[in-house]
Structure 1
């Protein structure tokens, strides 16, 4: 959640301090039932100024004082924050249906047409999008069909690092190129550039798109200050980006339709079709789905954009954090390198067949996700009815935030929670990896109806990239610099490593 626009409104907070701060306690709609505890807030802005630039950290500190379920008032928006595994389980499993909707997020509505499977409110349109995504785009068969694309992009990534070997490599640039390459091929196929002149411009366009998608508008929480969004240029920038992305996806869909013959692209089998092909199949095969909701071009565009944004950001962010943690923990890096190099056995590249034997690498990724959940506050839920959370009353249409970052670092749930200890996941080696809702101490992808269905797509991309980098190169910080990488965070659609990951790559051969 990017709250930087609120800095421009400090004068409002200062004026508000002239009034007496008050306890945002028990609004009348509680009807006498016990609402969650609430910190002191300010008139008009409520608890917005308390969020700061890194809300997940400040909310963790507040939860330590007020408990794992808190009621905040973000401007005019009542918001319940869940900060424990038990609270997360109740939101995403025990009372999943009551918490299954999403609040109105203005940026998502403007950039994703209000029709996507991530931000859309609970209802028939969302169920349709979710069904198409799970059954047609993100099934095991579909994920496996992009195996060669992932392996080719991983090989291209290794070649790019090798060209800069023994010099300082900007690993951020390398990893964003890899993740964009994988999702571009899965989404758009191997066709034309669609006016973007190759991968670098595509990466730049989607970086701005993702930044805007993660931006919170002032008018969303304090409607009478909506003019600030216009004054800061946010509305104009969003309108420009919306038009640009809409035109891009329109070109992609039109190109795919021109190249299709008999319901699929000419000359390509099942294992070569991309997401747009699959969505056009659904569009043509099902004139209406579910409760008579048309799966039209708007639904296709929304699906394409949310898939691109979610897959790129999650994979890229997690890979940067994983390499950063390993640089700061050389013993763990050597251990995972030894495992990868033994599994590959002197071959010239890492293939996806090798991944099933890399149990320690999987633990490294899990530990990275525990410490650095890509979306530390997940996507917000909204209650569909009056319900309860750990015995507290939560009225209908209340926004609910699950602080996955705080849950992953909860000392009541984890031994030495602030330390990077991949071996803590050793007991999970024989279980299905990353199953949503298996352990509510570990919810980087959410769970339940609104859990991320793209886990099966993202994880092989992360594992293959990390294994390839650690197989082919030994890594270290540049000489003359600090002996340890600073792990400060930068907030956006996801929380990223603030520092650029400049590392020295030394080629390794068997």
Structure 2
């Protein structure tokens, strides 16, 4: 229809539901379970991205009590703990009532509970550790995936020719098929290039996660880095470095079509949206599969346009602050089913 929709909200719900089903076994939203996991997660991500003066000047951490940060942290921590406890207890009760048959799929919580009992690995997993792993999977997987989807669709709407090229590729390869599957994605080279270009310009976590040196190091023979020094890698700046990229501020998926960069696993230091090495994101393959499939299905099924009166060049692409760099403005579009 000609109605204006908030596409970002739909993308957020999509990623939240996918991660919930894979990690927690089912979706958790206010309508279905009475638990608004998306709202709790939003509060958590906002707090993680806040500046905590006590992390850098320990003797000033008392300021957090005055600003109310400590109170907010305690409140959200209690909400998260209650939510994760309910998920774990739900799985324990369900598993007592039935036993899995060979080959029956298990979700991530089931696997962690088996590890907690020491059946598979021979070592126990403490309850707090189990909840921490679930929180990492749920929070990191949802927010970063949604952010990348939102930026990708925004860039495609800003570049109508790029959107048309992508739609032509997807629709030609999907000719005669009602639905696109994961098997179809390996043939969609322009789609993969468009996602990589979005990750180059808009890495979901622009400063990656902080690292800490384990011992004294002399780097390049000149720089002395003491042990326990916090190191912050600016993936955003690397992706826009004019010494590494031609016209770095432009969104041009074509730059990846004949490129030596074949994946996002950090093997090329000029392109590290998921980090690299031992501290690289363990969920990168899963995230890329979700993003590729979601974008392919969207451009296959719909034609997108901006609300009347808004030109592509006038779109607000301002970045918000936080641990993940979201778009500050909502992504409003008119989506018309493609017949």
Report whether the alignment pairs 1:167 with 2:3. Answer: yes
Match of 1:424 in 2: 255
Match of 2:24 in 1: 188
Question: 1:177, 1:200 within 8 Å by CA — same for their partners in 2?
Answer: no
Match of 1:449 in 2: 278
- The secondary structure found in structure 1 opposite 2:224 is strand
RMSD between aligned alpha carbons?
Answer: 2.2
- The secondary structure found in structure 1 opposite 2:186 is helix
Match of 2:49 in 1: 214
Q: Deviations over 1:128-162 (max 9, x none)?
A: xxxxxxxxxxxxxxxxxxxxxxxxxxxxxxxxxxx
Match of 2:135 in 1: 305
Deviation at 1:205? 1.3
User: Structure 1 residues 271, 437: CA separation in 2 closer, same or farther (over 3 Å shift)?
Assistant: farther
Question: 2:117, 2:125 within 8 Å by CA — same for their partners in 1?
Answer: no
- The secondary structure found in structure 2 opposite 1:346 is coil
Match of 2:333 in 1: 503
Q: Deviations over 1:3-46 (max 9, x none)?
A: xxxxxxxxxxxxxxxxxxxxxxxxxxxxxxxxxxxxxxxxxxxx
In the TM superposition, what are the counterparts of 1:36-435 in structure 2 within 5 Å?
165-190=1-26, 193=28, 197-198=32-33, 201-261=36-96, 266=99, 270=103, 272-285=105-118, 294-391=124-221, 392-428=223-259, 433-434=263-264
Deviation at 1:232? 1.5
* Match 1:438 to one of 251, 267, 274: 267
Q: Deviations over 1:404-452 (max 9, x none)?
A: 11111111111111111111111358x7532x23100000000111111
Question: 1:325, 1:368 within 8 Å by CA — same for their partners in 2?
Answer: yes
User: Structure 1 residues 309, 337: CA separation in 2 closer, same or farther (over 3 Å shift)?
Assistant: same
* Match 2:291 to one of 462, 465, 470: 462
Deviation at 1:270? 4.3
Question: 1:167, 1:504 within 8 Å by CA — same for their partners in 2?
Answer: yes
Q: Deviations over 1:194-246 (max 9, x none)?
A: 98854882211111111112223111112232222111211111111111111
User: Structure 1 residues 508, 269: CA separation in 2 closer, same or farther (over 3 Å shift)?
Assistant: farther
Question: 1:288, 1:295 within 8 Å by CA — same for their partners in 2?
Answer: no
Deviating above 4 A after TM superposition, structure 1's stretches of 4 or more consecutive aligned residues are: 193-200, 267-271, 286-289
Question: 1:376, 1:404 within 8 Å by CA — same for their partners in 2?
Answer: yes
- The secondary structure found in structure 2 opposite 1:427 is coil
Bigger Cα Rg: 1
Question: 1:445, 1:452 within 8 Å by CA — same for their partners in 2?
Answer: yes
User: Structure 1 residues 414, 483: CA separation in 2 closer, same or farther (over 3 Å shift)?
Assistant: closer
Match of 1:474 in 2: 303
Aligned-partner Cα distance in 2 for 1:220–1:196: 38
User: Structure 1 residues 279, 384: CA separation in 2 closer, same or farther (over 3 Å shift)?
Assistant: same
Deviation at 1:482? 4.0
Aligned-partner Cα distance in 2 for 1:382–1:244: 30
Calculate the TM-score normalised by the size of structure 1. Answer: 0.63
Match of 1:4 in 2: none
Aligned-partner Cα distance in 2 for 1:386–1:225: 28
Match of 1:69 in 2: none
Aligned-partner Cα distance in 2 for 1:166–1:298: 49
Question: 1:211, 1:492 within 8 Å by CA — same for their partners in 2?
Answer: yes
Aligned-partner Cα distance in 1 for 2:219–2:2: 54
User: Structure 1 residues 300, 194: CA separation in 2 closer, same or farther (over 3 Å shift)?
Assistant: farther
Aligned-partner Cα distance in 2 for 1:196–1:384: 47
Q: Deviations over 1:75-106 (max 9, x none)?
A: xxxxxxxxxxxxxxxxxxxxxxxxxxxxxxxx
Q: Name the count of aligned residue pairs.
A: 337
Calculate the TM-score normalised by the size of structure 2. Answer: 0.93
Aligned-partner Cα distance in 2 for 1:257–1:428: 49
Aligned-partner Cα distance in 1 for 2:219–2:155: 35
User: Structure 1 residues 378, 271: CA separation in 2 closer, same or farther (over 3 Å shift)?
Assistant: farther
Aligned-partner Cα distance in 2 for 1:221–1:361: 42
